[in-house]
Amino acid sequence: MKPPQSLAGYIRQHLKELEERLEVGVRQEVIVAELETHGYKTTLKGFRNFLYRARIRAAQKTVAASAKPASQKEQKYAPSVAQKPDQKKQEVPSNPLTKKAGFEFKGTNSVDENDFI
């Protein structure tokens, strides 16, 4: 019997449960065997690939969720750079102790004949 959703969808849906089981020491091979009992045929490498992609997707969702616009209360009390357009960015002074990497090649024009042996 064919499962109602794809293996990738199943892993994304049950990612939290899978992570908890992996955290307590359940082997990935055991999870792959359990997936087969649910009707999902995969290899250990395939499972690891789907798990990797699900983790990335979940991380992207949490980053997107944290980038939500601030509430009205936060906007009211938070200092805003956009409200002060006349304020210029302060330039960071250059560090006199740093040198460029490598050397400056000046060519043979700067060589004096007296420098030859």
pLDDT digits (tens, 9 = 90+) for 71-89: 665 566 555 545 555 555 6
In a domain, 20, yes or no: yes
In a domain, 85, yes or no: no
**Whether the predicted pLDDT of 20 surpasses 80:** yes
**Whether the predicted pLDDT of 10 surpasses 90:** yes
In a domain, 27, yes or no: yes
**Residues in Cβ contact with 78 at an 8 Å cutoff, skipping those fewer than 6 apart:** 70
Using one digit for the tens of pLDDT, what is the confidence trace for 65-74? 777 665 665 5
- For the chain, the domain total comes to 1
In a domain, 70, yes or no: no
In a domain, 54, yes or no: yes
In a domain, 39, yes or no: yes
pLDDT value of position 31: 96
What average pLDDT does the structure give for the chain? Answer: 80
In a domain, 109, yes or no: no
**Whether the predicted pLDDT of 115 surpasses 80:** no
Amino acid at 83: Q
- Domain of 26 in residue numbering reads as 7-63
In a domain, 99, yes or no: no
